[in-house]
């Protein structure tokens, strides 16, 4: 029997480039290992992040909500549970995300340009957007797109 093929999980990385401009690109988590969470658990695919203190927030963005230009308060994983939202970065790239999609928000240290700093975000459609946000208490990186590959 051959070894199972590790999965890849897509995520959008909103990051700051070397010039202080926020950008976003699609990357994939790829460091999955087939193992149990503990010896008593059947094996499953796990991609463990480095340990870091974190804050988990459940968020409901109302219909029509717009978060004007701002930076993420800290590096944070955002998983969409229901509804849809968009994120537009300073480079003009706009991405819409829905249930099951994942984003790493790491656009700290951007430099204001043309009234833009960080990103613009808001709900899409006629239902609220619910998400779970896991804010990491770690130093943000600059110009390291896809650092969680």
Query: Is the pLDDT confidence value at 2 over 90?
Result: no
106 has which bridge partners? 15
Q: What pLDDT does residue 145 have?
A: 95
Q: What pLDDT does residue 62 have?
A: 98
Query: 4-53 pLDDT, tens per residue?
Result: 899 999 999 999 999 999 999 999 999 999 999 888 999 999 999 889 99
Query: 56-99 pLDDT, tens per residue?
Result: 999 999 999 999 999 999 999 999 999 999 999 999 999 999 99
Please answer whether residues 24 and 14 qualify as being in contact, where contact means their C-beta atoms are separated by less than 8 angstroms.
yes
Place of tokens 């990186």: 141
Place of tokens 């944070």: 76
Q: What pLDDT does residue 81 have?
A: 98
HEC-encoded secondary structure of the chain: CCCCCCCCEEEEEEEECCCCCEEEEEEEECCCEEECCCCCCCCEEECCCCCCCEEEEEEEECCCCEEEEECCCCCEEEEEEECEEEEEECCCCEEEECCCCEEEEECCCCCCECCECCEEEEEECCCCEEEEEEEECCCCCCCCCCCCC
Query: Is the pLDDT confidence value at 138 over 60?
Result: yes
Cα distance between residue 46 and residue 37, in whole Å: 8
pTM beyond 0.85: yes
Query: Is the pLDDT confidence value at 1 over 90?
Result: no
Q: What pLDDT does residue 3 have?
A: 67
């Amino acid at each position: 029997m051959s070894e199972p093929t590790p999965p890849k999980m897509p995520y959008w990385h909103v990051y700051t480039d070397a010039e202080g401009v926020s950008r976003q690109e699609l990357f994939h988590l790829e460091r999955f290992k087939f193992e149990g969470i503990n010896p008593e658990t059947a094996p499953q695919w796990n991609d463990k992040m480095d340990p870091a203190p974190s804050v988990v927030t459940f968020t409901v963005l109302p219909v029509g909500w717009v978060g004007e230009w701002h930076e993420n308060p800290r590096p944070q994983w955002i998983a969409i549970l229901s509804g849809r939202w968009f994120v537009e970065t300073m480079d003009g790239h706009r991405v819409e995300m829905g249930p099951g999609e994942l984003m790493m928000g790491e656009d700290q240290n951007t430099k204001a340009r043309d009234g833009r700093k960080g990103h613009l975000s808001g709900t899409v459609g006629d239902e609220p957007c619910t998400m779970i946000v896991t804010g990491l208490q770690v130093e943000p990186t600059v110009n390291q797109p896809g650092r969680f590959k």
